[in-house]
Amino acid sequence: MINLKNIPNSPGIYLFYNSQKELIYVGKATSLKNRVRSYFAGPQNPRPIEIMIHEVINIKWITTDSVLEAIILEGNYIKKYRPKYNIDWRDDKSWNYLVITREKFPKLLAVREHEIKQGAKVAESKYKYLFGPYPNLNTRATLKILQKIFFFSTCKPNQKRPCFNYQIGLCLGVCTGEITTKDYSHKVIAPLVLFLKGQKKSLLKKLTSAMKLAAKENNFEEASRLRDQIWNLQKIQDIALLNKDFVKEKEATQKKSVLIEGYDISNLGTTGKVGSLVVFNELGAIKSEYKKFNIKTVTGQNDVDCLKEILKRRLNHWEWPLPDLILVDGGKPQVNAAKQILNEEKINLPLVGIAKGKARKKNEFHFAAAKNSEEIIKWALQNKDLLIKVRDETHRFAIQFQKQKRKIPRG
């Protein structure tokens, strides 16, 4: 029996092991306690997770001081141990690496895994260090946080004018020629590499020694810089890294709201078929969670098969939180098709389809209940106006995507 009582309520990574003591999955969390418990809360997990959970015999965890450190540590463990389920579930488009270039004044960049695979020899010649992979990394926020701590260069050396980062104190003078390549390597790259290797304690020790030496030599400007760097490392402000995975954990501790996913298909005859996914709660649209789909497997004009395709593709993304209700634009054929896919994936969710009635003036609602869905169905019946808004928005979003595709010139 797995004991979940002692798991701390702090950031870090969790490690799932099977009966052969093999690490089969590693994940990150802002609250280890909430995240790990969510895996064992009941049958609402998508099928791939249920399969994994049946293999889990032992759970370990490592706490960190920040979300950023949890992300770095997760990437290091994936790279070192290549856990089975991390590898099986990966999507090259969502796996990122942090790389340090081989330039005179090296830069820190984020690149996708498929870019590295497509040009392995080029990557080896361009990048001196490669860290990761980091699943679902918020690259912009991560680079911004690391920039504030390590002052790595984003500019060209020896320019006529200082760069913007220099003017706000985030560049050590690569653009103005104030720092040598040797000092840049010592002050910027070496500490950055230590941090990305997960050696924060060793880094803090080295920086503290360097700060004391600078003060002893009356180099108070350098001592002040090192003091600030140490403080920033100890108090990393990484709220921007709260991606979907972390937001899901936070919402689990708050009052649950009803989450709705709406689907629609748009096509131009037998070509240009697309699908849309919109997300709503009681307060309205959550546009940051919208998704677009190009239909890949359906030939001919068959909206029902197109709906099956996009719903199946969506459900393969187990890392996306499941809604409380799925809404489709259409009547019984669409609802039955969606129900078929949910059954195949062994996911227990209620459905509603909204079709235009006779003369297309009246909305007809078609519900398909699921186990323990009485409360959601009752809520849906009381909020038909909102459901109509969701249906209309799925249609608008699909049409918008269709128009965007038509504007793209073909080579």
> Which contacts of 184-187 are long-range, i.e. CB under 8 A and separated by 24 or more positions?
184/105, 184/106, 184/153, 185/106, 187/151
Which tokens sit at 363? 């909305």
Q: Kindly list the distances between the CA atom of residue 316 and the CA atoms of 132, 245, 390, in Å, as whole numbers in the listed order.
A: 23, 16, 23
- CATH class assigned to 12-88: alpha beta
Higher pLDDT, 18 or 44: 18
- Quick one: pLDDT at residue 254? 41
pLDDT of residue 94 exceeding 70:
no
Where residue 250 falls among pLDDT bands split at 50, 70, 90? Answer: very low
What are the pLDDT digits (tens) for 301-322? Answer: 889 999 999 999 998 776 577 8
Residue with tokens 């039955």: 336
Neighbour-count burial for 242-251, b at 16+ CB within 10 Å, e otherwise: bbebbebbee
CA 280 to chain CA centroid, nearest Å:
19
* Whole-number Å distance between alpha carbons of 50 and 201: 37
Residues in the chain: 411
pLDDT of residue 219 exceeding 80:
yes
Mean pLDDT, residues 136-152 taken together: 86
Where residue 1 falls among pLDDT bands split at 50, 70, 90? Answer: low
256-407 homologous superfamily:
UvrC, RNAse H endonuclease domain (3.30.420.340)
Ramachandran quadrant class, 395 (left: phi over 0; alpha: psi -120 to 50; beta: rest): alpha
Mean pLDDT over the full length of the chain: 85
DSSP calls for 59-76: EEEEE-SSHHHHHHHHHH
Which tokens sit at 155? 């500019």
Q: 350 — phi, psi (to 5°)? A: -75, 155
Neighbour-count burial for 133-165, b at 16+ CB within 10 Å, e otherwise: bbbebbeebbbebbbbbbbbbbbebeeeeebeb
Mean pLDDT, residues 112-134 taken together: 76
Return the H-helix or E-strand segment holding 132.
Answer: strand 127-135
Residue 210 identity: A
pLDDT of residue 379 exceeding 50:
yes
pLDDT of residue 405 exceeding 90:
no
Give the start-to-end residue ranges of the domains of the chain: 12-88, 95-197+232-240, 256-407
What are the pLDDT digits (tens) for 177-209? Answer: 999 999 999 999 999 999 999 999 999 999 999
What are the pLDDT digits (tens) for 149-167? Answer: 999 999 999 888 898 888 8
3-state secondary structure of 110: strand
Mean pLDDT, residues 40-57 taken together: 77
Q: 366 — phi, psi (to 5°)? A: -125, 110
* Whole-number Å distance between alpha carbons of 316 and 222: 51
Whole-model pTM? 0.53
Q: 11, 65 in Cβ contact below 8 A?
A: yes
Instruction: Report the relative pairing of strands 271-281 and 291-294 from DSSP bridges.
Output: antiparallel
Q: 402, 274 in Cβ contact below 8 A?
A: yes
Residue with tokens 């500019």: 155
Q: 59, 17 in Cβ contact below 8 A?
A: yes
Q: Choose among 220, 385, 245: nearest CA to 318.
A: 245
Residue 410: CB atoms within 10 A of its CB come to: 3
Q: 96 — phi, psi (to 5°)? A: -120, 155
* Whole-number Å distance between alpha carbons of 298 and 273: 9
* Whole-number Å distance between alpha carbons of 384 and 127: 55
Residue 311 identity: L
* Whole-number Å distance between alpha carbons of 224 and 291: 47
Q: 400 — phi, psi (to 5°)? A: -60, -45
- Quick one: pLDDT at residue 348? 86
Return the H-helix or E-strand segment holding 125.
Answer: helix 120-126
Residue 268: CB atoms within 10 A of its CB come to: 12
12-88 shares its CATH topology with 256-407: no
Helices (H), 273-383: 303-315, 332-344, 374-382
pLDDT of residue 253 exceeding 50:
no
